[in-house]
Amino acid sequence: MNPKVDFFFEKDSQWKKEYALLRKILLDCGLDEALKWGHPCYTFKGRNIVLIHGFKEYCALLFHKGVLLKDVNNILVQQTENVQSARQIRFTSLEEIVDQEKIIKQYVYEAVEVEKAGIKVPLKKTSEYEIPEELQQKMESDPDFKEAFKSLTPGRQRGYFLYFSQAKQSKTREARIEKCIPKIYEGKGWNER
């Protein structure tokens, strides 16, 4: 156990008992415990394997390379359509975790083997993302803006594609683009200050 992570397990949470059991299971698997992104993260030789986190409706184990696991029990969930690598096992009660302890350990051991083998997740290239129509129109009507956008790093471009695309209405996408123009000219991502 890593004392730097204790606060996560000690704070009042609807998932406090579930978190404690998940921690025990993961430590029983021989993983090292660290604090990353404000959550307990379990690693093997410094490589991220699984993270504990919680939401209103469930708590979960997030496998960083979950997409590479065989998922023979069909329990891994893709959090959102844009998540390429990570997959979750979700729990809504302590009993679920108790019932699935053996399965959880199997998934952890498989995830460790994936890391040992050095397998990488083939990620979608920026050029494979669909460019929102409103962004395409803005680039066609403003060559300077197009040049500024194209000079962004691929990661920043993907961030904008996803941020603009999440809006359901064209009007909202247009407003987001207009709001982000100064950041794009500064070479910053949509969520950078």
The dihedral through the CA atoms of 41, 44, 47, 50 has a sign that is negative
User: 3-state DSSP call for residue 1?
Assistant: coil
Q: What is the mean pLDDT of residues 165-180?
A: 92
Which of 1 and 94 is assigned the larger pLDDT? 94
Share of the chain above pLDDT 90, in %: 75
List, for residues 38-73, the tens digit of each pLDDT value: 999 999 999 999 999 999 999 999 999 999 999 999
* Structure letter (DSSP) for residue 160: H
Which of 32 and 154 is assigned the larger pLDDT? 32
Q: How far apart (Å, rounded) are the C-alpha atoms in residues 13 and 21?
A: 14
CATH number of 3-116: 3.90.1150
**All CATH 3.90.1150 domain ranges in the chain, comma separated:** 3-116
As a residue count, the chain comes to 193
- Looking at every residue in the chain, the average pLDDT score rounds to 92
List, for residues 110-164, the tens digit of each pLDDT value: 999 999 999 888 777 777 777 889 999 999 999 999 999 999 998 899 889 888 9
